[in-house]
Each structure stands twice: as structure tokens, then as C-alpha cells.
Amino acid sequence: MEFKKLFQPITIHSLKLKSRILMPCLDPGFAGEGGKVNQRLIDYFVRRARGGVSFIMVGPAVFDPVGVSGSFEYRIYLEGIPEGLSRLVEAIHRWGVPVGLQLHHAGRQANPELIDGTPVAPSAIPCPVRKSHPRALTIPEIEGIVQQYGIYARKAREAGFDAVEVHGSHGYLIAEFLSPYANNRTDPYGGSLENRTRFALEVVREVRRNVGKDFPIFFRIPGEEHVPEGLTPEETPLIAKMVEEAGADAIDVSAGNYRTAEWIVPPMTLPQGCNVLAAAAIKEQVRIPVVVAGRINTPELAEQVLQGGKADIIAMARGLVADPDFPRKAQEGKLEEIRRCIACNVCIDRLFQEMDIVCTVNPEVGREAEFDWPPLLHPKRVMVIGGGPGGMEAARVARLRGHRVTLYEEDSRLGGQIEAAHQASFKEEVKSLVQYYLTVLKTLDVEIKLETRMTPERALAEKPDAIVIATGCVPCTPNLPGVHFSHVVQALDVLLGKVQIEGQVAVIGGGTVGCEVATFLAERGAKVTLLEMLPYVANGIPRLLGKMMKDLMKNVGVHILTNRKVVQIEANRVVYEDSGRMASLPVDWVVLAVGAGPRDDLVKPLKDLFPETYQVGDCLEPRKALEAIYEGARVAHQL
């Protein structure tokens, strides 16, 4: 496919972009205290610049001590922070990539633990997520904040930035003024749409006055808030038009607020391009370029959006976290070599916990210097045992470093537990990770031997210099009466199609696998009851994905019973304890999803024979693909 539109240059006021792919603001959490720029942060952004993106938006940059929402935000009112940002801009500029700074005030969504005082907002309406009680801003205070936007926009230009973005989305201060969900003022800043938009327009005008006529201004707007009384696709195009008339040069469309945070960073349960229709409605009302964000993670979809006239520019944050070379690979036609974001939201979940981001599919994130391949003086013959995510990543990295690599897998195909993971309908994109590995391992000329079970004798005959064991895990079987009945099966066998079941099904275990297999079966017509001994299900699943997974289970009819401990399985029922009493559930089938143990039978024999033997992934300790892929990369890097 030819991407004529995606790689067509575009101009935003005086800003010339070489393509239609930009990186919007996504705080990676790598900055030091107060947003202090360090080498790790610079390495992260420079790696994205090297990959061919046309523009990077850095931020959020907070200019007011009561407007802070996250620990790693750039508090540009503090001494030394603007100078550090200047160093970051210089580093990115060396790769020919322009940089913008997003100006941000959290309003009532400020973190009470990070601010000194009471959060401020258009109205004294409590934040339903932060549970804080803001005070309503006075008109003189509003005027003061407007002036601050202008002052710090000018400082951004002086620091070397090529543009600024006024953050008017995601439920922060400007969005709070725009939305009846947070604004019940009766003065000139509340009530009608024109009044609710007044603050945003004053900010844009003041920013323009401070940065001059030739400096680009982006305005980020929620296409829809997805809450009762929130902004709708009927109102936001009208707001965008007013913002354009006030002096904005581009409208950046996202969605949601903290109440509907899944729309801010859509997980895999939401459709690709979930904000495109809202962006298209805005584009009909404005003449300036429209940027759209939200699960556009393939060049084909990006081109389709642009060709259809629904937006002018694609904002891609997590996609460039997963593969910073996405633009270059797309332009060169190496589509199957793109390591696609699977929207698992592990990165975002960590930010919610005030931690730095990691990426399931890209172990180099935040470790760019660590994974800068050094020259290899002595190539080795490397044997990788196991074709799951950890083994495939180990093979990829070892071959990139110059080793001769053979990958052994006893199954007829690569993928390991990823093959089971993508069977639930909402996780279909996960299989793109397997396709990525199949492509790059072939490109790198890694020798792959399928349907080959490794033994110590075979390893001796092959004479490797180093061995990486990535044999995965085996499902646990609980010590329950009746667990060995023929109608009791493992969840992985169900997901991999090794057994076909229907009728009334009890799924024991409400973790990741239990939720997935329950959804999988309910979508196929089974009557599913999920039994979990804890007070909640979806434990260990990233927050936004877990929230939507629970909604999905409810929608497909999964009956969830928590605080239930299964004590016995009988021929046609499951017996469980409920608040100290015994109860039962009639069943045709019982599916076990109660965890797994390491498959490590080869570890000791091979370590006895080959001193340079390593374990990665679940055969070391059952966890997630995140840990398996990172360990595979780290071990291979150290060979």
C-alpha cells in the first residue's frame, strides 16, 4: 500500500512538518523532581526523533503550583526547569524534528498530595475521581491565570520550542470551564456555550499576544467527554470554530476526562480510531488542520483517515512508544516489521501509580542507552528453547547483536501463550505481536526448528556456546475433590481450541486468564459463571483495561460471584463456600484458571552441562509478557 497522504508534508502556520505523523504529549515519567530534565528523558525523546516522526509535543508543563496532576510534570515555574527543557529541545532539534510544549493546569483534577492548597475550578463541584473539593475561581483569579498562560507561552518560545499547545481536554481546567459537567457558574464564564468558552478564548488570545503572529498554537479539545452533561460531538465543533477565530492554528482532538479515562488512553477494548468521527465533525467547522488521537496504530488506518478527509494529521503516542521507528518503517514499506502497540495500557497504569512507563512489547523504553548495541567481538552459537514472547525476543536481540541463533519450539507454531491470549475478541490485536516476531526473525535469518522437543542429549549434540531457556509455564491444578473429572478442563486448552465446550460453565479463578476465557465462552453462547475467592475480579489487569473488561463480561452475560471459595467439584455441580455457608452451582463443564507454575524441568540438566545457561519468562516465574520480553532482551544483550 502506498501512503501518499501520510507522508505528504503539511504546514501549521509557520511550522513545516515532513509527514502527517506527530507524537502528542505523553508524559513518560522519566523526569526528575519537579520535571527536571535528565539524560534518560533526553534519550527517550531522541530515540523517537531518530525514528522519523515529524513533530514531538513535550509536556505537560504546569505553570501554577495548584495545577499539578502528576509527579513528573514539568513545573516550569521552578528554577532550572526551563533551562533543562531547552537542553531537551536542542537534543531533539539535532535530528531535524520540531518540538512543542503543552501548557497545562489540572483544575479540580489536581493531585491534592502534590499541591499546596485547595484545588481550583470554575465551580465548587467535587471531582468524582480525586474526591477533592475545589473552590470556585473568582474573576480576578481567572484573569490572572489567563495572563500566566501567555507569560509561559512566551517563555516556551524563548526556550527554543517551535509551538505551544493549550490543553483544553481530559477534564482539566479549560475543559472544566467548557463543560456543564464541571461548570455551573451564572456569571459571564458559565451557562451558555459562548460563556463557557470564554475562558478558553481569552487564553488563546493571550497566548497569541505573547508569542507573536508567526508562532503556532495548538489547542487540544475533547471530541466528546462520554459523561452525563459532558461535552458532546454537537458542541465541540462549535467550540473549535471559536477557538480558531481566537487565533489557534491547529485543533488536536482527543476525548474523555478522569471519570472516563479509558477514552483518554483507549485500551484494546475500544475500537481503533475511536475519536475519528468526532474529529471529522470538527474538521467540517474549521479551516485549520485537525489532529486526531486515539488507537490509530497502523499506517493503513492512518492513511484511510487522512484520505477520507476526517483529519489532517495523526497523533500517535503509544504507537511510537511501542516502535519509535514506525514512521520510517511505514515509509519504507516494511509494514510487517512494525511492532504495533497492543493497547494493553501497562504504560498508562504505571503513570496512574506515579511510576515511570514501561512497554509490554518494547523492552527498550526508558532504557534506550542500556540497549544501545555495543560492538560484538566474539559471536556465539546461541540456542533458544521456547518460542513464546520471551524466547522470540531473546532470539531477535541475540541475532541483532551478531550471534548465530537457533530457536527451538516443540509446538507446530511460535507464539506460546500469546496464541491463547488473543482468542478473546477484544484481544485480537495481540496476535500482531506474533506476526511481528515471525517477520523479523525471518529477516534476521534466525534458524527456527518447530515441533522439536529439546533434551539434554540433543543439546550436547548441537554444542551451543550459550542457552536461553524460555519454556514457559504449566497451568496449576488445584487440590480439590473431583478436579480430575473429564468435564474439568484448563482455560488454556479452551482458548487454544483443544477442547470444545458449551452449556453451563463454571470458570474458577477471576484473574486475567479467567476473565478472558469467561468472555470467550460467553461470546460463543455458553452460560458462564465466574467464581473468585477474592472480593474482586480482574486482579493484575491494568486499571482501564480491567474496568472495560468487567463491563464487557457484564454485557456478554457472564455471571460473576466473588468471595466464593470452591471446595468440591461433582459430576454435575460445583460446590462453593459463601459467607460460611455451602452453596452449589449446576454445571456441564468446569474451567480452571487458577494460575500456573514454571516449566523448569530442563533448567538443572542443562545448567549442569552448559555453564552459560539462562532462564527468562515464565519458566523462571509465571508473570506477564512484559517481564518475559524484557528478560529475553536483557539476557540476549548480555551474551
Q: What is the pLDDT of residues 465-498, one digit of tens each?
A: 999 999 999 999 999 999 999 999 999 999 988 9
Residues whose CB is less than 8 angstroms from the CB of residue 218 and which lie 6 or more positions away in sequence, other chains included: 12, 57, 100, 163, 164, 165, 166, 248, 249, 250, 251, 252, 291
pLDDT of residue 546 exceeding 90:
no
Q: Grid coordinates standing for 178?
A: 467548557
As a whole number of angstroms, the distance between CA 473 and CA 29 comes to 32
pLDDT of residue 196 exceeding 80:
yes
pLDDT of residue 531 exceeding 90:
yes
Give pLDDT, residue 586.
95
Q: Coil, strand or helix: which one is 339?
A: coil
pLDDT band for 55, please (50, 70, 90 cuts).
very high
Instruction: Tell which wins on pLDDT, 374 or 526.
Output: 526
Give pLDDT, residue 431.
86
pLDDT of residue 22 exceeding 80:
yes
Please state the φ and ψ torsions of residue 575, each to the nearest 5 degrees: -105, 130
Structural domains in the chain, sorted by start: 20-334 (3.20.20.70), 381-475+598-638 (3.40.50.720), 488-594 (3.50.50.60)
Q: Are 498 and 618 in contact (CB under 8 A)?
A: no
Is 172 labeled as catalytic in the residue annotation? Answer: yes
Q: Mean pLDDT across the chain, nearest whole number?
A: 94
Give pLDDT, residue 417.
82
Give pLDDT, residue 545.
80
What mean pLDDT comes out for the span 603-613? 94
Q: Are 291 and 251 in contact (CB under 8 A)?
A: yes
| Nearest-10 Cα torsion for 356, 357, 363, 369 | -50
Beta strands (DSSP E) in 156-275 are: 163-167, 217-222, 250-254
pLDDT of residue 377 exceeding 90:
no
Q: What is the pLDDT of residues 270-290, one digit of tens each?
A: 999 999 999 999 999 999 999
Give pLDDT, residue 541.
80
Give pLDDT, residue 82.
95
pLDDT of residue 396 exceeding 80:
yes
Cα 248 to the center of its chain, rounded Å: 29
pLDDT of residue 419 exceeding 90:
no
What mean pLDDT comes out for the span 252-260? 96
Give pLDDT, residue 181.
96
As a whole number of angstroms, the distance between CA 46 and CA 169 comes to 27
Question: In this structure, how many other beta carbons lie within 10 angstroms of the beta carbon of residue 547?
Answer: 17
Within 13 Å of residue 321, how many CA atoms lie on the same side as its CB? 27
pLDDT band for 31, please (50, 70, 90 cuts).
very high
Give pLDDT, residue 540.
78
pLDDT band for 2, please (50, 70, 90 cuts).
confident
Q: What is the pLDDT of residues 129-142, one digit of tens each?
A: 999 899 999 999 99
Q: Are 533 and 507 in contact (CB under 8 A)?
A: no
Active-site annotation holder among 77, 172, 437, 614: 172
Give pLDDT, residue 497.
87
Give pLDDT, residue 306.
98
Give burial (CB, 10 Å; 0-12/13-18/19+) of 308: exposed
What mean pLDDT comes out for the span 518-544? 90
Q: What's the whole-model pTM score?
A: 0.93
Q: Grid coordinates standing for 607?
A: 545448567
Give pLDDT, residue 113.
93
Q: Coil, strand or helix: which one is 315?
A: strand
Q: What is the pLDDT of residues 212-232, one digit of tens each?
A: 999 999 999 999 999 999 999
Give pLDDT, residue 3.
94
